[in-house]
Amino acid sequence: MTFDYSKELINDYEKLIENDRGYDVIIYAGEDKVEIRAHSLILCIRSQYFRSAFSNKWANKEDGKFIFNKPNISPQILEIILR
């Protein structure tokens, strides 16, 4: 017997994005610097870009949170990418 947990897993990821608890990354997106919060562990698992960013210390760290400034990407597009 096999179970398909993919839909449940996707729902759990959505909850992490929507919930402010436990985040350790702040991305300021767009010219208006919209603040988007995320989790470094998930970003590293899902993205080579973020694996490199964290391992090479591209991101600044302030008050225990990684800070990325991305004025050249719209907040809406970044939200879609994170989902």
Predicted confidence at residue 46, as pLDDT, reads 86
Segments forming the whole domain that contains residue 53 = 6-82
The CATH number assigned to the domain holding 70 equals 3.30.710.10
pLDDT of 48-78, one tens digit each? Answer: 988 888 887 777 888 989 888 888 888 898 8
In a domain? residue 25: yes
Q: Is 48 domain-assigned?
A: yes
* Strand 25-29 versus strand 60-62 pairing type: unpaired
In a domain? residue 1: no
Structure tokens at 8: 């449940």
pLDDT at 28: 92
SS3 21: coil
Q: What is the mean pLDDT of the chain?
A: 84
Tally the domains of the chain.
1
Sheet holding 60-62, edge to edge: 34-38, 25-29, 65-70, 60-62
More confident: 57 or 35: 35
* 26, HSE (Cβ side, Cα atoms, 13 Å): 13
